[in-house]
Homo-oligomer: A and B are copies of this chain.
Amino acid sequence: MNTIGKILTLTTFGESHGPAMGGVLDGMPAGVDIDLDELQCFVDRRRTGQTTGSSSRSEQDRVEVLSGIWQGKTLGTPIGFLVRNTDARSADYEEIARCFRPNHADYTWQAKYGVRDPRGGGRASARETVARVVAGGIAIQALEHLGITVQATVCRCGGAEPGDSAAVLERVMADGDTLGGIIACAVHGVPAGLGEPLFGKLHAQLAAAMMSIPSVHGFEYGDGFDMADRRGSEVLDLFEKREDGTIGTVTNHSGGIQGGISNGQEITMRIAFKPVPTLMRPVPSIDSEGNPVTLQPRGRHDACVLQRALPIVEAMAALVILDHYLIKKTNVL
């Protein structure tokens, strides 16, 4: 289940300190112009070492496209791609091999598989998201050809407004502690009619995609959890016929989706990230025999991932929207 999507499918692979991360994006329509330099720029947005609070691990993250794009156009064939892991320092991670870090996946992967690659968290590392960003960057370019754009922004960081986040982050880092936050994502230009009954509702697929990003603990669309406290009359998005003859809604409490299908309004959603689980201070834990240990801070870790997560959120949104754009083509004979 390292695959997502129905028509447009992304399958990814790679362990954090193995030779490479990569993936296969299958089902991309043929004849779509893709600018690989623009793709690299998009992928660079999630790189480390660029903002305060991010890990000092320095990966070049050069995207190698191995198939499916030729002479600047998609071929309709699967797009295989790689990003090499060049700055892996596995010595840093020997401790993980025999201990379980709290709020990490060490214990659960051991329980599941009976074996794990402890180097850098193996496949459970957030480094896997580089493959999502490569594939999503391609989907974003395809959507742009259709007039559809995706934008994610940090709307809450460490319990503070985005404007105060630098100060908050400074204090937290001084304590060797970490932050989480909330990212808002909006998709403009989605035509009405995308999304499938019953289990393929557009927001259900967006939720699954966003919840699959490491550290995400919550998802809502439109007014989300707030809607649960409102009366029905307060959140009705009344219809209006607009001057250009199209039908729209006066308000958008519903986040651009009704009954799981886009209604032509802006699609809005919010995604909650837990604070980074690796602290830069000693943490009590246990080893695989259950003996108490104290984990010393080491390795290179982010204190806050929100800025780096923006292209990841945009990537996942784009993959879902493009997939449903293609599915909709099959709704008529």
Q: Which residues of B contact A22 (CB under 8 A)?
A: 24, 66-67, 80
Instruction: Indicate if A60 sits at the interface (CB-CB under 8 A).
Output: no
A230 to B239: give the CA distance in the assembly, Å.
40
CB A229 to nearest CB in B, in angstroms, measures: 4
Complex CA gap A281/B218 in Å reads: 34
A259 contacts across to B, CB distance below 8 A: 104-105, 108-109, 124, 214
Question: A303: shortest Cβ distance to chain B, in Å?
Answer: 8
Q: Are A13 and B66 in touch, CB under 8 angstroms? A: yes
Residue of B nearest to A275 (CB): B232
Interchain CA distance A235-B158 in the complex, whole Å? 13
Whether A258 touches B208, Cβ cut-off 8 Å, given contacts A18-B66, A103-B236, is: no
Q: Give 1 or 0 for each of A304-333: 1 = CB within 8 Å of chain B CB.
A: 000000000000000000000011111111
Q: How many copies does the complex hold?
A: 4
> Using Cβ atoms and an 8 Å threshold, which residues of chain B touch A180?
227-230, 232
Assess A107 versus B263: contact at CB under 8 Å? Given A3-B11, A218-B218: yes
A32 at the interface (CB under 8 A from B): yes
| Partner pick for A232 among B3, B177, B219, B327, CB 8 A cutoff | B177
Query: What does the 1/0 interface line of A129-170 toward B look like (CB < 8 Å)?
Result: 000000000000010011000000000101100000000000
Assess the B199–A207 pair: CB atoms within 8 A. Answer: no
Residue of B nearest to A273 (CB): B228
Cα distance A263–B110 when bound, in Å? 10
Q: Tell me whether B220 and A217 are in contact (CB under 8 A).
A: yes
Q: Mark A232-271, 1 if CB is under 8 A from B, else 0.
A: 1111111111000101010000110111111110000000
**What residues on B are CB-neighbors of A11 within 8 Å?**
3, 9, 11, 24, 26, 78
A-B contact pairs, 22 of them (CB 8 A): A2-B26, A2-B198, A2-B200, A12-B78, A14-B66, A15-B70, A18-B66, A23-B24, A29-B331, A75-B123, A103-B232, A103-B254, A104-B259, A105-B260, A107-B263, A108-B260, A108-B262, A114-B332, A145-B333, A211-B219, A217-B223, A235-B274
Closest 7 CB pairs of A and B: A105-B259, A1-B200, A13-B80, A178-B232, A218-B220, A241-B290, A108-B261
